[in-house]
Amino acid sequence: MSNRAPQIVALGGGGFSMERDSSLLDDYVLSLTAASRPRVCFLPTASGDADHYVVRFYRRFSPTCDASHLSLFRRDQGTDGVEDDLATHLLSQDIIYVGGGNMLSMLGAWRAHGLDAILRKAWRRGIVMCGPSAGSLCWFDQALSAFHGAPRIVRGLGLLPYSNCVHYDAEPERRAEYHRFVADGMRPGFAAEDGVALHFRGTDLARVVSSRRDGAAFLVEHDGKRVRETRLEVDFLGGASVLPSSSPVVAPELDEPPAVTHAAGAGPPALSTRQAVAA
């Protein structure tokens, strides 16, 4: 059993699928492994295993990594012996990279193939889990999904006992809906703009990084009277942090937190961040 801490890098949007000229977020994920040539497996399930998405993954990662992918919608399930034993292959990776798309369909396919349990085990072993959009939302207990129709709450894998909202700047209507859902009882949680990633160690938010100088992320919670949005300190990956330091965010007190099933080894369901500045 590995003694590496569980890690998740949840991208609000970005990485190789969105940033053609820069993949600083992907570089950051790769830096979290000690491997000289990391083993990276791509799960494009949320896109229906779109061929163009898989090709772009290999173009980005195969020059410097032992890259593979896992397909649930193709007869050929992948490369590098994936189809022989899904669990063995995934649990041998340094990074599992989940693509964007339809989160609800992705979770259904994962559960049908037993991947939900395998991914929980991979996370506990310290394999770095990451992804943008649906590849971010899936790790949380609750997520705001707007892939089809009006925004709705979708239950994720529950590795992180918070809620999550992505594309916070690219799709402005998500902000209003996220605030509304949190006001109505959705778990407090984190919102990230495109080009911004939330890095969790265990269930604590350890760092927020951005490939953009003006990228932002927020802690969103209900203080008993109204929804409060607190801007988090963000480290720009192209240089020094562009936001000033301030006092730590105080974790919200939940008298009766919503029920959540925690993976073994998960920390307590209290929000923890590095530092923040008032929005």
Burial (CB count within 10 angstroms: exposed 0-12, middle 13-18, buried 19+), residue 52: exposed
Q: Which two tokens stand for residue 10?
A: 């949840």
User: Which ranges of 200-246 does DSSP label H, i.e. alpha helix?
Assistant: none
Cα separation, 40 vs 194, in Å, equals 22
Closest listed residue to residue 96, CA positions, set 73, 78, 75, 76 = 78
Could you confirm whether 272 is annotated as catalytic? no
Catalytic residue among 167, 179, 199, 222: 167
Could you confirm whether 52 is annotated as catalytic? no
Cα separation, 162 vs 217, in Å, equals 14
Residue 118, classed as helix, strand or coil, is helix
Closest listed residue to residue 56, CA positions, set 33, 31, 23, 82 = 23
Catalytic residue among 23, 133, 136, 210: 133
Catalytic site residues? Answer: 133, 167
